[in-house]
Amino acid sequence: MPEKSAPSSEGFIRFDFDTLTPHERYKLLIGAVVPRPIAWVTSIDEAGRVNAAPFSFFNVLSADPAILAIGVENHPNRRFKDTGHNIRMTGEFTVNIVDHENLHTMNTTAISFPPEVDELKEAGLTALPGTKVACPYIAEAPVALECQRHVTLEISAAREIVLGRVVAMHVRSSIINERLHIDPAGLDALGRMGGNGYCRSNETFDLKGVSLEQWGNHRGVSI
């Protein structure tokens, strides 16, 4: 337990983030904000070379316009890693949802290969040509979202948040119906937990929302 923590009321321990190291903040955040969806981000450089990297600092933020975000970590000396460099140079990327079937191939693409190595080839994945962006999407991914960069937020020397506008989406035909509902069991998406932990999204339950009138009737209160 860091010395910068302190007992708090109601059995909580309080952490002052201004006094914690980046690694201590990272451990607390990735252990608490779970599960986080995992996606391969595919991009290309100026020479057309494909890069694929897994991200768990990723999520959708808006539907109108359709915006998602990825947290891109670069080198502490401000030198860009491949994904950050490629998006900066081309303004395009594709987010490919990782399912449980691709757990080990995802782990392969996390290896720090040099830029000239094709991660998709090393992992045995298939690149399909994008329809509205130049970078490919991954055939083995159940869902892929083609994105154009909307804005890049420079958070620190080593961290950027890229907001991408979704311009096209590919969904495996067996997991979507005519009402545009995607089957979570068929999707079987991976989630990232703390440390080296992962989870699956194929075990779900439904919970209908309660209206204000229903809440009032339950409490015996007229609304």
Q: Cα–Cα–Cα angle for 60, 63, 66, nearest 5°? A: 75
Place of tokens 């991660």: 119
Res 102: pLDDT: 95
pLDDT at residue 29 greater than cutoff 70: yes
Q: Can you give the residue ranges of every domain in the chain?
A: 1-32, 37-204
Q: Where are the alpha helices (DSSP H) in the chain?
A: 22-32, 82-90, 103-109, 119-123, 184-187, 212-219
| Per-residue buried b or exposed e for 95-115, using 16+ beta carbons within 10 Å of the residue's own CB | bbbbbbebeebbebbeeebee
Backbone angles phi, psi at 13, to 5 degrees: -110, 130
Tell me the residue ranges of DSSP E strands in the chain: 5-7, 13-15, 36-37, 39-44, 50-55, 58-63, 66-73, 92-97, 127-128, 137-138, 143-156, 159-171, 190-192, 198-200
Res 9: pLDDT: 65
* 117-134 per-position pLDDT tens digit: 888 999 999 999 999 999
Residue 78 banded pLDDT, cuts 50, 70, 90? low
Res 6: pLDDT: 64
Could you tell me how many residues make up the chain? 223
CATH code at 37-204 = 2.30.110.10
pLDDT at residue 165 greater than cutoff 80: yes
Res 8: pLDDT: 67
- Name the pTM for this structure: 0.87
